[in-house]
């Protein structure tokens, strides 16, 4: 299997880092490459456990562990003191899943088909949650602008942290409410989209747990290598750490989801595709970002939800606007997939040429 063979990248990355003097660039490249198969094995382990626990708990497990690789990577980057890179990674995951991942899936699913159909109820909920995500990220930025720019508050930093903690709690509550809605009160409508089917023979529970634990530990080790080589890599290739966070780290953390969405799009299961791509976008904002805020305070490197770069807010707004526009009629065609990718490419160019926060 390809994913099994790619696991050889883990010992290679460790060997390059600890046993050679090649430099941090190769540590970074091999580290992020190794995270890709590890993320896929986390997804597989979670899916196998979900087969044993039933659709409700299975859906909860998939939702909880779906972004494990991305969360672990972000935590290690945060521990290195790169708060702006973590925020960039959050933004990158939102636009990567909602624009690039969704666009690639629509293109792949459109081969040989005139149009693709969505579950209107599921897509409608996802669209509403996208609007909430946009509001939740706009409020701290506008509050910060008001306190610093209009009232010239001397206590703006502390107030930003308090507001961010409050927003994080609200987002986690909304995430929990969404789980209750999709897994309990309206599970009949969403049951078909909670746990993807598989042709494989179900694993024993012990094997699924062992794979999940081992892949998570491996991801943590690779994430530590990547985060330590971040600054040197950015200097060597002539880009900002901000760009690496918003494009490279975000894509790496979600590569397995891209492959899954393309696979299910080819099967015509577009409701599931929307749950994987747009649903993951929402999970990043409602689950990953709030957890990072809470963890940052626990480890002594407080992070707020104030996005200093207006481009990041424009990017999130673009996702909400374009995805809502494309999915509102319950149908999609290949040209709409191409438009999603085009918007992502435009934003990627903007992030590449942008002056990173703190370097202006």
Let me know if residue 300 belongs to a domain: yes
Phi/psi of residue 155, each to 5°? Answer: -115, 25
In a domain, 298, yes or no: yes
Cβ neighbours of residue 15 under 8 Å, at least 6 residues apart? Answer: none
pTM here is 0.84
Number of domains in the chain: 1
Q: Is residue 166 part of a domain?
A: yes
Q: Is 359 part of any domain? A: no
pLDDT in tens for each of the 360 residues of the chain?
A: 678 888 999 999 999 998 888 889 999 999 999 988 988 888 788 778 767 765 555 555 655 666 777 888 889 889 888 888 899 999 999 999 999 999 999 999 998 888 888 777 777 788 888 999 999 989 999 999 898 877 777 788 889 999 999 999 999 999 889 888 877 777 665 555 444 445 567 888 889 889 988 988 898 899 889 988 988 999 999 889 889 999 988 888 787 778 878 888 888 888 778 878 888 888 889 999 999 999 999 988 889 999 878 899 999 999 999 988 888 888 889 999 999 999 999 999 999 998 765 554
Report yes or no on 358 lying in a domain: no
Q: Which domain holds residue 212?
A: 2-353
So what's the pLDDT on residue 64? 62
CA distances 44 to 41, 58, 207, 260, 314, Å, are 5, 12, 11, 11, 34
CATH of the domain at 12: 1.20.1420.30
Answer yes or no: is 148 within a domain: yes
For residue 360, being part of any structural domain is answered with no
Q: What is the pLDDT of residue 165?
A: 94
Dihedral over Cα of 197, 200, 202, 205: its sign: negative
* CA 109 – CA 116 distance, rounded (Å): 7
């Amino acid at each position: 299997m390809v994913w099994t063979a790619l696991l050889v990248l883990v010992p290679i990355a460790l060997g390059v880092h600890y046993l050679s003097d090649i430099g941090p660039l190769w540590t970074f490249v091999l580290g992020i490459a190794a995270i890709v198969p590890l993320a896929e094995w986390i997804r597989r382990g979670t899916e196998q456990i979900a087969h044993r626990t039933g659709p409700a708990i299975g859906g909860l497990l998939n939702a909880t562990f779906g972004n494990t690789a991305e969360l672990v990577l972000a935590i290690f980057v945060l521990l290195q003191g790169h708060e702006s890179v973590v925020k960039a990674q959050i933004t990158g995951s939102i636009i990567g899943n909602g624009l690039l991942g969704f666009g690639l899936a629509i293109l792949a699913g459109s081969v040989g088909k005139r149009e693709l159909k969505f579950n209107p109820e599921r897509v409608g909920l996802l669209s509403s949650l996208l609007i909430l995500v946009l509001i939740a990220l706009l409020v701290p930025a506008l509050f910060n602008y008001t306190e610093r720019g209009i009232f010239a508050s001397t206590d703006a930093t502390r107030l930003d942290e308090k507001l961010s903690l409050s927003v994080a709690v609200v987002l986690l509550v909304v995430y929990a409410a969404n789980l209750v809605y999709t897994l309990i009160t309206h599970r009949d409508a969403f049951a078909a989209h909670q746990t993807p089917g598989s042709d494989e023979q179900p694993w024993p529970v012990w094997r699924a747990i062992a794979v999940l634990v081992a892949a998570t530990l491996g991801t943590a080790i690779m994430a530590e290598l990547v985060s330590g080589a971040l600054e040197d890599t950015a200097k060597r290739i002539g880009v900002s750490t901000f760009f690496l966070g918003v494009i490279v780290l975000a894509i790496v953390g979600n590569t397995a989801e891209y492959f899954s969405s393309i696979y299910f799009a080819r099967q015509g299961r577009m409701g599931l595709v929307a749950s994987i791509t747009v649903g993951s976008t929402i999970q990043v904002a409602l689950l990953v970002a709030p957890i990072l805020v809470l963890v940052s305070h626990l480890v002594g490197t407080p992070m707020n939800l104030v996005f200093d770069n207006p481009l990041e807010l424009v990017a999130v707004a673009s996702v909400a606007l374009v995805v809502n526009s494309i999915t509102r009629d319950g149908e999609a065609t290949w040209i709409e997939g191409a438009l999603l990718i085009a918007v992502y490419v435009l934003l990627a160019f903007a992030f590449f040429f942008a002056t990173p926060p703190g370097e202006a």
